[in-house]
Every structure is written in structure tokens, then in C-alpha cells.
Structure 1
């Protein structure tokens, strides 16, 4: 009887250690995934800042779209619309 309890206890211990190692490995895999996602997010933030920079947009507008700044005499200021009467 004591021998059966000893074997059962040993098997339980081995199973518990195996499960623990398995869980620790899974945690490490998930931490690596989280780190990769964080790095990817950082790269996307940098890329967004680069693509939306004012100087880049102005350069593309001038080079690719052939846009230019208007001359002072080409600027027309419109008067504000008349105020509406509240009903």
C-alpha cells in the first residue's frame, strides 16, 4: 500500500513539474510575441510620423502634383458669411 502511494506521489510530482515547465515555456513564447508586437507598433509610429511630416507632404505636392504656393496677388480673401437670424 505504501509503495502504491509512493509511486502515485512520484508520478504526480513529475506531472506537476512537466506542466510547470510547459507553462513557463508558453509564457516565454507569449512574452516574445508581445515584444515583437511592441516593436512593430513602434516602427509603425515612426513610419507614420515620417509619412505625415509637413516637409515630406510639401515636397510631394510640389514634385509629383506640380503644386506651388500662390503669389500674394493670387490670394483672394472672402468676407465672412452674414450672421443668420436665430429662429
Structure 2
């Protein structure tokens, strides 16, 4: 009778272990899918960040700022006679 009980316990332990393995593999797959999605989102954000840096560099270019200052604001470099040097 004890051999049957031992066999039943071993079969039950085997089934529980198999269910644990299936659960662990399922959990691993779910986490891998989530990781892949997060990596894709990270890559897309890095691409957008690069585009924004390029756009910022374009908008902040000194030639462009000089052109806008001259055209829209009517600014110009002062003439030599217009410059006043203040000394203490």
C-alpha cells in the first residue's frame, strides 16, 4: 500500500511541477512581449528626439536668426557714428 501512496505522491508532484513550468513559460512570454513593445516605443522616442534636436538646431542657427531680425524686426548693425562707448 505504501508503494501506491508513494507513486501517487510522485505523480501529483510531477503534475504540479509541469503546471508550474507551463505557468512560468507563459509568464515569460507575456513579459517578453511587453519588453519588445517597450523597446519599440523607446526606439520611436529616440528617433523623435533626434528629429527635435535637428529642428532646434535649425531654428537656432545664427544666419536664420539674423535674417529674421533684419526682415521682420527691421534690425541692423549700428553705424560707426551710432556707437557710443561708456567708460566708468
RMSD: 1.3
Instruction: List runs of 5+ in structure 1 lacking aligned partners.
Output: 82-87
2:11 aligned with 1:3, yes or no? yes
Q: CA deviation at 1:77?
A: 1.6
Q: CA deviation at 1:15?
A: 0.5
Q: CA deviation at 1:60?
A: 0.5
Runs of 4+ more than 4 Å apart: none
Query: Please, what TM-score do these two structures have when normalized by structure 2?
Result: 0.79
- Which whole-Å CA distance do the structure 1 matches of 2:85 and 2:67 have between them? 26
Instruction: List runs of 5+ in structure 2 lacking aligned partners.
Output: 1-7
Which protein shows a greater Rg?
Answer: 2
Query: Please, what TM-score do these two structures have when normalized by structure 1?
Result: 0.80
Structure with more helix by fraction: 2
